[in-house]
Amino acid sequence: MRYIFFALILLIIFSDVSSQTFSTFLERINALPVNERTALLDSFLSAIPACPLIEQDTVAHFLYRGTASSVTVPGDANNWSTTASPMTKIAGTDLWYRTEVYENDARLDYKFYVNGSWILDPRNPNTCVGGFGPNSELRMPAYQPPAEISYYPDIDHGTLQDTSFYSINLGNRRTVRIYLPPDYHRSTRRYPMMLFHDGLEYISLAQANHVLDYLIHLNRIEPTIGVFVPPVNRTSEYAGNLQAKFTKFIIEEIIPWVDARFRTIPSPDKRAVLGASYGGNISLWLGLNHPEVFGHVAAQSSYIQGSIFSGFQNGPKLDLTIHMILGTYDIASLIPMVRNFIPILDAKSYDYRFHEYPEGHSWGFWRAHIDDALEMFFPFQPTEVKSNHLNVPEKIRLLQSYPNPFNSETTIRFFVEKGAFVSIKIFNLNGQSIRTLISQKKSAGEHSVIWDGKDDAGKVQASGMYFCQFLMNDAPVEVRRMIMLK
């Protein structure tokens, strides 16, 4: 009878285990005799699809099960300290846990440090490759993974080609990789160009070539040439005693070679430079000292040397547009450095965009915002759509939907200069067409259509980012971003 009574108690506990909070689970397991806790733990873990366990949108429970004398959670949130975030062991079990509170849209890299060894979180399927190998990835509920970094086999892809480049100024050799847009070999047009510092990592770790393919396919940017230049002596070239020679290498060797060999547009308003950390520093340095070459600068989680501060503060306003991002969990010394630089840009009325995100100093952070810089510098120009056989009107415009963000529905307005066959399609972040709102002949003038947040089958779509594509006579013309919040 005593065994049956105990079994019934466990059955009640187990039936509710999937709906209970972690704090309730702790209360229940700690109330059991030590030798009876494993069964409840097994049931609790089997009800969790993955870890970390997220509750109330902002609470993250890190869970590790295994034999250990000490377990900690180093990562972006604590500057990868192996001692700052120890886990607690539940007596009578082999479960270790740690609870933290983060922003509901945070994304952070982390690992477990178990008995002096680094391991990935065995219960977390999400990983992100960093400069020192893969890390486990914490994704809070409101975080939107970047769709543009993935490879899509059904879209056109650019080509990559390598050149072993010897620098006269630096006396060394490195592999420079060039990305050519999908239509490069089918056209005679010229292209804008973005130069990436830490270039090979921006391909292997940030998938910048996939980003370019994706944005070009959706007509979110002009087709753009990518120039990926790696460092040889990174710190010295980007922020040290080789900086002057590296600057000459870029300005006097790389840029003339690229312009001579490829069909670039040799104008500063069609050249951009991007980098992260020390790579952001050299990007800002090149923009400050050579605005006649680079008219656009993107600096991600950037170090900023003193001469850059004084140059922007004390010198004349330059013809530059600047894009900067910073993680609120970034390297501690960089956070005030970047924040103190922004008022200088404000005081000089620079055209800039700056945003802070709840992320750390990581490639997972930087790769998700390459698209923001590209769209700021080289937005798609509708007048570029040229097709003799499709008879696309020269003056067309897709206006930004309103409201945006929206909850239940948003109104999309568009202008047609002369009668044409018009299509308006909605795409999700994976590049999939989910809804065709219009596919018919439209007369000249302004028109509008409402999207109710549903797909073609009438299914309500999830909260997130969507893209509205405007086609004239079956030719893609313009794309706008929309955000649906439920």
Residue 423 has pLDDT above 80, yes or no: yes
Q: Give the model's pLDDT for residue 432.
A: 87
Q: How confident is the model at residue 9 (pLDDT cuts 50, 70, 90)?
A: very low
- CA 431, distance to chain mean position in Å, is 16
Q: What is the pLDDT of residue 14?
A: 42
pTM to 2 decimals? Answer: 0.77
Task: Summarize the confidence of residues 258-266 as an average pLDDT.
Answer: 95
Distance CA 383, CA 485 (A): 32
| Mean of pLDDT values over 359-388 | 84
Residue 415, pLDDT score: 78
Q: Is 284 helix (H, G, I), strand (E, B) or coil?
A: helix
Q: What is the pLDDT of residues 139-172, one digit of tens each?
A: 999 998 999 999 999 899 999 999 999 999 999 9
**pLDDT of 390 strictly over 50:** no
Q: At residue 483, does pLDDT exceed 60?
A: yes
CA dist 163 and 181 (Å) reads: 17
Q: How confident is residue 99, by pLDDT bands cut at 50, 70 and 90? A: very high
Is 269's pLDDT higher than 80? yes
The pLDDT tens digits of the residues spanning 226-254 come to 999 999 999 999 999 999 999 999 999 99
Q: With the CA atoms of 372, 373, 376 and 380 taken in that order, what torsion angle do they form, in degrees rounded to the nearest 10?
A: -80
pLDDT-based confidence at 19, cuts 50/70/90? low
Using a pLDDT cut of 90, give the percent of the chain over it.
Answer: 76
d(CA 232, CA 239): 13
| Closest to 111 (Cα-Cα) out of 89, 140, 82 | 82
Q: How far apart are CA 175 and CA 12, in angstroms?
A: 64
Tell me: the pLDDT tens digits for 305-349? 999 999 999 999 999 999 999 999 999 999 999 999 999 999 999
Q: Among 167, 235, 175, which residue's Cα sits nearest to residue 199?
A: 175
Residue 419 confidence class, pLDDT cut points 50, 70, 90: confident
Per-residue pLDDT, averaged over 372-391, amounts to 68
Contact, 41 vs 29, CB < 8 A?
yes
- Find where tokens 């005679």 sit: 188
Q: Could you tell me the pLDDT band of residue 298, with boundaries at 50, 70 and 90?
A: very high
Give the separation between CA 101 and CA 52, rounded to whole angstroms: 12
Which CATH code, of 3.40.462.40, 2.60.40.4070, 1.10.8.60, 2.60.120.620, is assigned to 387-484? 2.60.40.4070
What pLDDT was estimated at residue 442? 86
pLDDT at site 8: 43
Q: CATH 2.60.40.4070 residue ranges in the chain?
A: 387-484
Cross-strand partners of 166: 173
Q: Mean pLDDT across the chain, nearest whole number?
A: 90
Q: What is the pLDDT of residue 10?
A: 44
Give the CATH H-level superfamily of domain 152-328+335-352+359-365: Alpha/Beta hydrolase fold, catalytic domain (3.40.50.1820)
Pairing of strands 296-300, 321-329: parallel
Nearest to 411 by CA among 455, 474, 453: 453
In the chain, CATH 3.40.50.1820 sits at 152-328+335-352+359-365
Say what the pLDDT of residue 447 is: 85
DSSP label at 206?
Answer: T
Sheet containing 225-229, strands listed edge to edge, beginning at the edge strand earlier in sequence: 159-167, 172-180, 225-229, 193-197, 271-276, 296-300, 321-329, 351-360
Average pLDDT over residues 176-201: 96
Can you tell me the distance from the alpha carbon of 445 to that of 107, in angstroms, rounded to the nearest whole number? 44
Angle between helices 22-31 and 37-46 (to 10 degrees): 160
**pLDDT (mean) for 427-440:** 89
Across 67-87, average pLDDT:
97
**pLDDT surpassing 90 at residue 366:** yes
Does the pLDDT of residue 12 top 60, yes or no?
no
Q: How far is CA 178 from CA 151, 183, 219, in A?
A: 18, 15, 21
